[in-house]
Amino acid sequence: MTDIVQILVSGLTVGSVIALVAFGYNLVFASTRIVNFAQGSMLVVAGYIAFAVARAGVPIWGAFALSIVASLAVGVLVEIVAIKPLGRFDPSTNVGWILTTFGVGLIAIDLIKKTVGAEARRLPPLADSIFGWKVAKISGVAITVPDALLVVSALLIVVGLELLQTRTNLGRAFRAVAEDRQIAGLMGINTELMVMITFALAGALAAIGAVLIAPRQFVKLDLGVNLGLQAFIAAVIGGLGSTRGAIVGGYVIGFTTAIVSTITSEGGSWGPVVVFVVFLMVLVVRPAGIFGSPAVEKV
């Protein structure tokens, strides 16, 4: 019973961490057909910004709000530096965005290293208790407020993004730009603004993820590479461009890692291997991902 509870708690929390980063990938891809390989680095930048603001004496909720605002600007800056210089292009044929987004991510990490420092940082939780409740134990497994806040926030974000894309004019504009940017422009949609907004929202998601993740693990420079890779795999498993796919893919990886870590003492070394096996199996059965739509070539 203890092992089952441990798998559930670890799978939900780790899966939510990965899903929060995967949301950023899918949000940008849904409207631009571009994979922003700087997303993991944006999370690290947001975490260090929140730490620097909190270290200056600002309460954690204030640091959280300021990191979101700063990350909105970082997302816009990534789009301006990595995407705009490419001009108008077809993402499926001109893949220069792979190098530019990845390069911008590396530059951002280096700037953090030279300004804030390379040491791992930990942020205090947004809440220590909820109506007096601080921790619960089920079969000896502790469930804390930060863990619950992380899981609930991930679920609320996926619901919010799903509603944004399907029920609002902004979401319809996103989908129109993704379908055909030229026709969307002829219909009066400011396509450049839509792309900029998606990058800004991806930056805000990075800030939310960084602050929610920080109490569970240190914010450190290599977190962007590790989480970025896992989140990209999660996004592909769930289906690139699907908000539901982000959380499903995140939980697939989270529960896979939790099961492997529980049933074997060498889960840390076997976990990535099993995740890649699951990744390949999903792609064999569903090449476009669980919720992805296969590309249709029109003649």
For residues 145 and 135, give the distance between their C-alpha atoms in angstroms, rounded to a whole number: 6
Phi, psi for 126 (deg, rounded to 5): -65, -30
The owner of tokens 């390949």 is 280
**Sequence-ordered strand ranges (E) for 121-213:** 135-138, 141-144
What's the count of helices (H) and strands (E) in the chain, helices before strands?
11, 2
pLDDT confidence of residue 299: 46
Tell me the helix, strand and coil percentages in the chain, rounded to 5. Answer: 70, 5, 25
Q: Which two tokens stand for residue 145?
A: 């407020």
Element (H, E) at 148: helix 145-167
What pTM value is reported for the model?
Answer: 0.86
Burial of residue 56 (number of CB atoms within 10 Å: 0-12, 13-18, 19+): exposed
For residues 227 and 155, give the distance between their C-alpha atoms in angstroms, rounded to a whole number: 19
For residues 209 and 50, give the distance between their C-alpha atoms in angstroms, rounded to a whole number: 11
Give the CA distances from residue 15 to residues 94, 166, 258, 263, in Å, rounded to whole numbers and listed in that order: 33, 24, 9, 18
Residue in 123, 111, 120 with CA at minimum distance from that of residue 51: 123
The owner of tokens 């939900």 is 12
Instruction: Enumerate residues 6+ apart whose C-beta is below 8 A from 104.
Output: 38, 41, 78, 81, 82
For residues 231 and 5, give the distance between their C-alpha atoms in angstroms, rounded to a whole number: 24
pLDDT, one tens digit for every residue, the chain (299 residues): 677 888 888 888 888 888 888 988 988 888 888 889 999 889 889 988 988 898 888 998 999 999 999 999 999 999 999 888 887 777 777 788 888 998 998 898 888 888 887 788 888 888 777 777 777 777 777 778 888 888 888 888 888 888 887 888 888 888 888 777 788 888 888 888 888 999 999 999 888 888 888 777 778 888 878 888 889 999 999 988 887 888 899 999 989 888 888 887 665 677 788 888 888 998 888 888 888 766 555 44
Domain ranges across the chain: 15-221
According to DSSP, the residues that pair with 141 across neighbouring strands are 138
Q: Which two tokens stand for residue 287?
A: 């090449």
Q: Where are the alpha helices (H) located in 33-95, listed in sequence order?
A: 39-55, 60-78
Which value, to the nearest 10 degrees, does the dihedral of the CA atoms of residues 180, 38, 9, 249 take?
30
Burial of residue 290 (number of CB atoms within 10 Å: 0-12, 13-18, 19+): middle
For residues 227 and 244, give the distance between their C-alpha atoms in angstroms, rounded to a whole number: 19
pLDDT confidence of residue 294: 62
**Sequence-ordered strand ranges (E) for the chain:** 135-138, 141-144
**Sequence-ordered strand ranges (E) for 93-217:** 135-138, 141-144
Q: Which two tokens stand for residue 229?
A: 């890779």
Q: Write the single-letter amino acid at 290.
A: I
Yes or no: say if 43 and 209 are a contact pair by the CB < 8 Å rule: yes
For residues 145 and 165, give the distance between their C-alpha atoms in angstroms, rounded to a whole number: 30
